[in-house]
Structure 1
Amino acid sequence: MSMLLLENTKHNKPNAHTTPSAVIPSIILYEPSFEGWLSAVFYIYSKRLQDHAGLQLYAQDNYVPSLIDPAISVPSDAEHAERVLKTLNKLLGRSGMRQILWGFLSEKQIIGIILFEVVKYTIAYPNRDVMEDLGNLHVLELAQIVKSVGREKHRMEAFVRFEHTTQDIYFARIEPDFNVLPLIGAHFHKRYQDQDWAIYDVRRGYGIFYDKSKGTPKHPAPLQTITDIDEAVLRHPASIHSLDEQRYQHFWQGYFANVNIKERKNPRLHRQYLPQRYWKYLSEKQVLPDAEHLQKRR
């Protein structure tokens, strides 16, 4: 099955010049992208390192250099990545590839190793429904990670708060535990086609932008990736709030402060359904002084 994965790589057999046994790398470093990880998988199979005991894969930005374990950095290669992707699509199908991608977006330090072990298992047993075999520890671990990523995706779709700016763009900041921005774009793209909006991941330094002027009602504009957001705006978004947004936040915060029944407060349950790490980007949690004053008068 490795030949199915690599197709035209018969000439890449290891030799004394390329991979002598004395210097076989035990750590493969890939560029921190899905294409980079796929390229690393291709490299491993092309050099026939897949059965090397203790082989580990790490993103280059997650690796701490070691004086003991030999490591090699594999550059991203679009052609190699595409070849591996096609093979995995055949073996895993859409559902299986969804789990691979969602697992990768978790950005966990050992996710490259887990995914490679799942891929190796898949190639070894092409007729088995690998993703349903939770008796395999790597498949089980991946399933648990995917579940956590899915939970974070769902929360982001619920907790994103757009703020209207002076440029007539609805802007939202997020800081999720996992890199779920590529997963939530379709949710907002489907629902907000009549306005310009942007969602920016503060932790990862990139965002998505929808420009309605570049689409039509029948053919909505595609999402664009953005990276050049002014740091001052990220630190003080209120500096670009429109007058309508200022009034809306004032009324909303006042309502939120007054709608609560003091005697029925349950902070523990509240944090269970709305984790505190999301609060700093929720307008209703930034209670205005006069809203607190109104609450005390009740």
Structure 2
Amino acid sequence: MNENYSYDGTLEGMFTVFYLLLKNKNIPKDIKPLNGSNIFVDNYIFIQTKDSRSSYLYNYLRNHLDSKIFKKVIISFLSEKNNKELFIYKYILLNLKTQNQADRYIKKEYVDFINSSYRSITSEAHKLTGLIRFKLLKDGFYYASIHPKNDVILLLYPHFSKRFNTFRWMIHDMNRSKILIFNGESSQIHFVKEFDRRTLESYYDSEELYFQQLWKEYHKNMEIKERKNKKVQQHFMPLRYWQDLIEDINS
């Protein structure tokens, strides 16, 4: 039967749904993460996450899908677009049916979604590795805020855990209210319900404030006002990134 399904919004939850669908050879009408907009929708069947089922499917797909295809499946889950779950499921089915040849069917909407999402997400994560500005806090941690379009915070960990492996740092995804914290040995994700950005400056180390001011003055003095072009700036760096920079681009 074609039904509507919901889950807890995690990758493990989505794979639990996929496990049941594949087992019953079923193609659903829709799959949605459980949130405030659909929590009381009666025609959605909620599937409880089971680690045993999600782990089984994860290992099954890793063994039966091409490594690049499997990576696309995992990365596409980080997209914020609607219908991603159904598109990912159909993409998996087509790859299993065609022995990893789904990308040849470029006119199919879900194949285009997977490939465009993969490019968008990996591109954004790569850009952020060069754009993130860490700021030293009084407790010795380095803090950086980001406002990404996609949920890329975990993709940033491999880069910064290698480059700054002797430092303690945290990356705060302001759009999703979660922080990736690295203590020099291991990492954790924490969700922050309330955060007042206006009070953040009070936590900065005095030396951090001094160097921030130096950088702002340097940026201001190096600017050629006659050649300032905000449209070009926005083309190379979307507005959502500006608020996380130390320098004031709007001035």
Scaled by the length of structure 1, what TM-score is found?
Answer: 0.77
Per-residue deviation at 1:62?
Answer: 7.0
Match of residue 155, structure 1, among 127, 134, 157: 127
Given the alignment of the two structures, is residue 136 of structure 1 paired with residue 108 of structure 2, yes or no?
Answer: yes
**Contact 1:39 1:76 (C-alpha < 8 Å) held by counterparts:** yes
RMSD: 2.1
Given the alignment of the two structures, is residue 60 of structure 1 paired with residue 34 of structure 2, yes or no?
Answer: yes
Aligned residue for 2:66, secondary structure, equals: helix
Per-residue deviation at 1:199?
Answer: 0.8
User: Per the alignment, do residues 159 and 62 of structure 1 end up closer, same or farther by CA in structure 2, a change over 3 Å counting?
Assistant: farther
Per-residue deviation at 1:200?
Answer: 1.3
User: Per the alignment, do residues 229 and 250 of structure 1 end up closer, same or farther by CA in structure 2, a change over 3 Å counting?
Assistant: farther
Per-residue deviation at 1:42?
Answer: 1.1
Per-residue deviation at 1:123?
Answer: 2.4
**Contact 1:43 1:74 (C-alpha < 8 Å) held by counterparts:** no
Given the alignment of the two structures, is residue 224 of structure 1 paired with residue 183 of structure 2, yes or no?
Answer: no
User: Per the alignment, do residues 195 and 265 of structure 1 end up closer, same or farther by CA in structure 2, a change over 3 Å counting?
Assistant: same
Per-residue deviation at 1:171?
Answer: 0.6
Moved more, 156-165 or 58-67: 58-67
**Contact 2:95 2:102 (C-alpha < 8 Å) held by counterparts:** yes
**Residue in 2 that maps onto 1:113:** 86
Q: Deviations over 1:239-291 (max 9, x none)?
A: 1111111101111111111111111112211111121111111111278xxxx
**Residue in 1 that maps onto 2:54:** 81
Higher Rg:
1
Q: How many residues matched?
A: 250
Cα distance in structure 2, aligned partners of 1:49 and 1:122: 16
Runs of at least 5 residues in structure 1 that lack an aligned partner in the other structure: 1-23, 213-220, 293-298
**Residue in 1 that maps onto 2:77:** 104
Per-residue deviation at 1:45?
Answer: 2.4
Scaled by the length of structure 2, what TM-score is found?
Answer: 0.91
The equivalences for 1:1-298 within 5 A come to 24=1, 26-50=3-27, 55-61=29-35, 64=38, 70-125=43-98, 127-212=99-184, 221-227=185-191, 231-232=195-196, 234-285=197-248
Aligned residue for 1:121, secondary structure, equals: helix
User: Per the alignment, do residues 229 and 75 of structure 1 end up closer, same or farther by CA in structure 2, a change over 3 Å counting?
Assistant: closer
Identity, % of aligned positions: 20
**Contact 2:136 2:205 (C-alpha < 8 Å) held by counterparts:** yes
Cα distance in structure 2, aligned partners of 1:191 and 1:208: 15
Cα distance in structure 2, aligned partners of 1:101 and 1:62: 24
Cα distance in structure 1, aligned partners of 2:194 and 2:36: 27
Cα distance in structure 1, aligned partners of 2:17 and 2:37: 15
Q: Deviations over 1:166-194 (max 9, x none)?
A: 11111111121110001011111111122
Aligned residue for 2:170, secondary structure, equals: strand
Cα distance in structure 2, aligned partners of 1:31 and 1:198: 25
